[in-house]
Amino acid sequence: MKFDIDIAIVFGFLFINLIIGLFYGRGVKNIKDYALGGRNFSTATLTATIIATWIGGDNFALYLSETYTHGLYFIFSVFGAFLAFLITGHIYAPRMAEFLGDLSIAESMGKLYGNNARIITSLCGFILMIVVVSIQFKIASTLLGLLIGSSGIHTTVVSAIIVIIYSSFGGIKSVTFTDVIQFFTFGTVVPVIALIVWSGIDDADIVFNTIQTNPLFDLGELFDYRTPKFWSFLSLMLLYIIPGFDPSTFQRMAMSRNISQMRKAFTYAAVAVLVVQLLISWISVLILSKNSGLDPNNLFAYILENYSFTGLKAMFVVGVMTMVMSTADSCLNSGAVMFSHDIASNLKFIKKGNESLRQNSPRLN
């Protein structure tokens, strides 16, 4: 692997995250601290970690490729995610009071349906978290491979180790405050990518012409219920509207100080997620306007090759890497809590009260 300024920027960003994660993770003494961090987060912080957890590296790649391929059919579908956040905040949140402070969704299921339901939920949730983390690090490998021009296995391993270290020792405080940094990073980089791609188009009329003449952006065809595409679009939108209660999302709800804060955080997150989705889709529209014959699965590689230079290329990669890391660390934390608190503890692999690494290692307190 050839070491250059781009690699230096990426490694520098990774180690900044490690330092921030370990700094804010001080004082974790038990599994409750590890899972909920005292539930004293500000609404802005809670909103940022909700957004960062939900938007993974797979989302960026998906929005780019699907908008490029399906246009408005996909753009309108993802409005369902906006509605899902609002449903969570305004319909589900008022009914969540009894679960505030629960360490995991499995614990809450145990309250409602008994210990067997708790164990089944924790096993399924733990497997889901493993799958999501695997997907994120696979994306990280691809991203870093694009940056260095060969397999990104070494840098991927380093990034994975860093995320695992601060997630393991710092708990949810480390995850949350690194999520804030990561949210602001990709929240800055995505608009920058959009502006740079826009600046690479000599004539803005090309974009407006694409929107006016390309069948992918024909509103009449989109809402024509007689076409198969309409029903595909409607089905996808309805799927996005269904709120997801995966372990990490539930954990963000349980971390809230009260129902009011939970409602506000998910409402603000709905708007922010929609803005990010539309920005990424707009990047795809700009690329389509300039070149309609690209492989939809390699659009980010196209951006790196045609719209960036040394230094800026690393920033583009870091922007998407933050999406990867913010989702991966949240899933690692949720998965660890379910494994220790709901699986190992209930199956007598470890004693209750000894679920946290710090509880078993006095030198770390």
Cα(329)–Cα(324) distance, integer angstroms = 9
Domain ranges (residues) in the chain: 45-360
Cα(253)–Cα(108) distance, integer angstroms = 12
Fold of domain 45-360: Sodium/glucose cotransporter (1.20.1730)
Cα(181)–Cα(120) distance, integer angstroms = 34
Cα(290)–Cα(202) distance, integer angstroms = 9
Q: What is the pLDDT of residue 355?
A: 56
* SS3 label, residue 244: coil
- 92: nearest Cα among 244, 257, 275, 271: 244
* SS3 label, residue 41: coil
Cα(230)–Cα(223) distance, integer angstroms = 6
- 175: nearest Cα among 4, 68, 334, 357: 334
| Contact between residue 332 and residue 169 where contact means Cβ atoms under 8 Å apart | no
**pTM, 2 dp:** 0.86
Residue type present at position 200: G
Q: What is the pLDDT of residue 150?
A: 61
DSSP letter string, 49-113: HHHHHHS-HHHHHHHHHHHHHHTHHHHHHTHHHHHHHHHIIIIIGGG-GGGTT-S-HHHHHHHHH
User: pLDDT truncated to tens, each residue of the chain (365 aa)?
Assistant: 555 787 888 888 888 888 888 887 777 778 888 888 888 899 999 999 999 888 888 888 888 999 999 888 888 888 888 999 999 999 998 888 999 989 999 999 999 999 999 999 999 999 999 999 988 888 888 887 777 766 657 767 877 888 888 887 778 888 888 888 888 888 888 999 899 989 888 888 898 888 888 888 888 887 888 888 888 888 888 888 988 788 999 999 999 999 999 999 999 999 999 999 899 999 999 999 988 888 998 888 888 888 877 778 888 888 888 888 888 889 989 998 998 888 887 777 766 655 555 544 444 44
Cα(187)–Cα(37) distance, integer angstroms = 25
Cα(14)–Cα(243) distance, integer angstroms = 32
